[in-house]
Amino acid sequence: MSAPVPINKTSNLSESFNQLNVNSSTSPNAVSTSPTNSYMDRLRPRASTLKSTKSLKPFSTGDMKILLLENINQTAIDIFKSQGYQIEYYKTSLNEDELLEKIKDVHAIGIRSKTKLTSKILKNAKNLVVIGCFCIGTNQVDLEFAASQGISVFNSPFSNSRSVAEMVIAEIICLSRQLSDRSMELHNGIWNKVSSKCWEIRGKTLGIVGYGHIGSQLSVLAEAFGMNVLYYDVQMIMALGTAKQVGSLNELLSKSDFVTLHVPETDDTKNLISYTQLAAMKDGSYLINNARGTVLDIPALIEALKIGKLAGAAIDVFPHEPAKNGEFFNNDLNSWTSELQSLKNLILTPHIGGSTEEAQSAIGVEVATSLTSYINEGASTGAVNFPEVALRGLDLDQENVVRVLYIHQNVPGVLKTVNEILSSYNIEKQFSDSRGNVAYLMADISGVNTDDIKLLYSRLEDTPYKIATRLLY
């Protein structure tokens, strides 16, 4: 196993955000979109009434330990270091045995797409309270089991959307002009200046399957290039620009010159595009998959390319991918790999849709901020597997106040039992919500002496249907 990577000494949290604001713009001359000065003038009188919030510390957990795998961006490390957390950092994923050992005493773990957090792994994570997926996808985590253990999971649904959308535009142009083939030929010394079956993208129709954060941004970019945009989604979603939603997947496939996939990995989306769907596509059209490897039936795609049904394709994700850079992508991973690699006008990339400096920096801030907020305040807003609960911060002048974070099975009678315990104190704020079989109660109670905290914790831990208890004070 590789040794952990030393962590750079870092700035405070506000500096991390300021650095992101300066460096992450995709425009060389970015213009502020803040409210006008006149509007801000009307807000200023209220600023003087705002109070600073109290920094809370956990009872019974000791120093917070975080395990970061797969080369998590420095912006996240900066945020965690500013909070005083202990960090162990690796540039790669760990094998199962290594992960079982490393995860057993950490309170939080940050991963990307390669690390698989199965129920077996999570059963060994006795202190784990939160998981951060520094990516969009969360299918690498057993979300239901994590929730049943009181482990909240956060991801980054927004931060790499622009990077993926731009890559799709690049692939559309490369496919329509056969740029990958011409480049490969010239690398091999072959001069082949042709215009046959090379097209402008202006006036062509782009079909987007999945009109979420990425699909909708792509829609706007495509229209700026003069493309017509259709989209299909299982939900009714308001269009951006002049895009039009169609009623069925087959309708989109039959009308589009380019089809691009942007859906999550679920049982419903497995082999969403297979032989039948490829047959429904226009002759000479193009297919792009930057979503998940299981969404596209690749043997079916190979056949469609071989017989000329499709003029080209671009694939960034695969059912089985190498665990780290430098490993071979070959038939040992997927039996059809060599056959796929032999095809023309086929762009193959190593899962790099969100791999830009801007996206990774923004993802680092987004996920690290969510994890820090959950660890320090209990706020689960944005969690993908958990009830979303949050309370406003405690004021600095609020003394002897404890924030109770109580995760329990979603069954009748639990709140009555818990409130009987809390009723010995003054309940200042309380919020509870449930999701499936798991419920989450957050309450701020005052009049709690330091000596009472241990007893309060013990009484909550002894309640039936308890999953996890945390006290912040």
- Nearest residue to 67 (alpha-carbon basis) of 75, 52, 59, 77: 77
Backbone angles phi, psi at 209, to 5 degrees: -100, 105
Query: Catalytic residue numbers?
Result: 292, 321, 351
40 vs 464: CA distance, rounded Å: 51
Alpha-carbon distance of 430 to 116, in angstroms, equals 35
Task: Determine the Cα angle at 202 with ends 197 and 205, to 5°.
Answer: 85
**Which tokens in the block code for residue 321?**
């991918």
Reported in sequence order, the residue ranges of 83-142 that DSSP labels E, i.e. its strands, are 86-89, 108-111, 130-133
Q: Which helix (H) or strand (E) holds 164?
A: helix 161-177
Q: Do residues 66 and 106 touch, judged by C-beta distance below 8 A?
A: yes
For the chain, the first-to-last Cα distance in angstroms comes to 38
Alpha-carbon span 202 to 228, nearest angstrom: 8
What's the distance, CA 443 to chain centroid? 29
Q: Are 135 and 353 in contact (CB under 8 A)?
A: no
Residue among 397, 387, 396 nearest 442 (CA): 387
Dihedral angle of Cα 84, 90, 96, 98, to the nearest 10 degrees: -80
